[in-house]
Structure 1
Amino acid sequence: MRLAPNSRFTGVAVVADSWPLLRAGVRQTLQGMSLRVAADEATFESAKAAVGDRLDLVVVGNTLEDPRDIVAQVRRLPGAGDSPPKIIFLLDAVDAGGLRHLLTDGVEGLVQRSIELPDLKAACERVLAGHRVVSGGPLSVLASAGLELREPGLDSDDRAGLTRKEREVLSQLAQHVSNKEIAERLHVSAATVKTHLSNIYGKLGVTSRREAVVVGVERGLLA
């Protein structure tokens, strides 16, 4: 694709997935963000052959290749400036062990392969802005397993100002239990749980349980 002369160029991307229709949708989404898609191929091995002297984003779905091997290859490719290319994996099936490895390897995006295109666009924008994104099935597995995901550059001691008890309540939210069950588990009153929730929402800048869990996962706040 050639961008029009007045288009706002935001970087170079490649797409790898075994399903042509999915690749077409992802390509269209990325082009709508003024990214130049250098290649969309059934495998990452084929897609990377089109990479020149710059690569900003890699979107990988089902390629039957080892995800960790893909990460290692991407980190050796030229990024923008001093930053390596960013990676988003579109996952079908997820397990805690696999997520742990990918998080340890510093993967920036882990989302459900069936993600809606507008949500994929939002995920790509966040990843390119320097955030980490986990959504759909990967988020549920991550929260249930108690794994931590920190924003790049986030101080390990930064707990968003949450108290120990507030972090305990946040951890319970990730297990999808009611206020009454949280109160029973933490041996506090239901009114106290409501107070903790109000404090958590305010400190994290969210308005719902789901948003609190998402932010908690992204910032590594789950105990």
Structure 2
Amino acid sequence: MTSVLVVDDQVLIRAGLAALIAAAPGLTVVGEASDGREAVALSAEHRPDVVLMDIRMPDMDGVTATAHLLGPESAHHPRVLILTTFDLDEYVYAALSAGASGFLLKDTPPHRLIAALTTVAEGDHLLTPSITRRLIAAFASRSPDPSPPAPALDSLTGRENEVLRLVAHGLANLDIAQRLHVTEATVKTHLNRTMTKLGLNSRAQAVVVAYESGLVVPGDGVL
């Protein structure tokens, strides 16, 4: 049974989400929070598998709460699935950078919300190639001049660097596997090792690091 903490400052939306999730097979709601601060406290208490996190909330917003939940000071690191009204605004970019496993718009159909919760609970990331491309565009508009490569990338093997570069270009694991003539499982292994070496929690963070380190430059094509 996958446990979910629902976080939203609007009581009707929060209650509706909680009721929808509670009625879905294999999912249970362990708590509801009205802001990020309460979400952090309830996560420590109930240790949910997934936190369904709103972005714009009073007192502590979803970005700050995500950073707390996934930071080194937290004893429990749940998967964080971001809910937003706006498609990849600056708040979503920041939450993904903090390690959120993906995001959904608030007009997402109920069946897709349930599927998304299951996806991130299983350890996968809700970051499709189209979302990755928008993340890249957001980064390009914020940082037109990439910084020199970060020393942390020196710990990666040549193949791990190659996989990270292709992930940053928006390719899905299957596409990367076909390009490199390896299995999809091998790609996942390389990516998992890369994230472990770099201390990352999500595919989205890997994309951000690839651009911030200068490994990939916005506008470059996939070779």
TM-score normalized by the length of structure 1: 0.54
Structure 2: runs of 5 or more not aligned: 141-158, 180-202, 208-215
Name the structure 2 match of 1:70. 65
Q: Kindly tell me: are residues 25 and 155 of structure 1, through their superposed partners in 2, closer, same or farther at Cα, counting changes over 3 Å?
A: farther
Structure with bigger helix share is 2
Confirm or deny that 1:46 pairs with 2:38: yes
Which of the pair has more CA radius of gyration? Answer: 1
Matches within 5 A, 1:79-158: 79=76, 84-95=77-88, 97-134=90-127, 141-142=134-135, 144-145=137-138, 155-158=160-163
Contact 1:60/1:87 (CA < 8 Å) preserved in 2? yes
Matched residue type, 1:18: D
Name the structure 2 match of 1:23. 14
Measured after TM superposition, the shift of residue 130 of structure 1 is: 1.2
Q: Is the deviation greater in 52-61 or in 28-37? A: 28-37
RMSD value, Cα: 4.0
Tell me the secondary structure at the aligned position of residue 124 of structure 1. Answer: helix
Matched residue type, 2:51: V
Distance in 1 (alpha carbons) for counterparts of 2:176 and 2:42: 45
Distance in 2 (alpha carbons) for counterparts of 1:161 and 1:77: 31
Structure 1: runs of 5 or more not aligned: 1-8, 148-153, 172-199, 205-216
Measured after TM superposition, the shift of residue 71 of structure 1 is: 1.3
Tell me the secondary structure at the aligned position of residue 115 of structure 1. Answer: coil
Question: CA deviation digits over 1:167-221, x for unaligned, max 9?
Answer: 7xx89xxxxxxxxxxxxxxxxxxxxxxxxxxxx69949xxxxxxxxxxxx97959
Contact 1:13/1:57 (CA < 8 Å) preserved in 2? yes
Contact 2:36/2:62 (CA < 8 Å) preserved in 1? no
Tell me the secondary structure at the aligned position of residue 135 of structure 2. Answer: helix
* Matching residue within 4, 9, 34 for 2:26: 34
Counting matched residue pairs gives: 158
Measured after TM superposition, the shift of residue 110 of structure 1 is: 1.4
Matched residue type, 1:157: E
Measured after TM superposition, the shift of residue 112 of structure 1 is: 0.9
Q: Kindly tell me: are residues 55 and 201 of structure 1, through their superposed partners in 2, closer, same or farther at Cα, counting changes over 3 Å?
A: closer
- What percent identity do the matched residue pairs reach? 18
Distance in 1 (alpha carbons) for counterparts of 2:15 and 2:48: 19
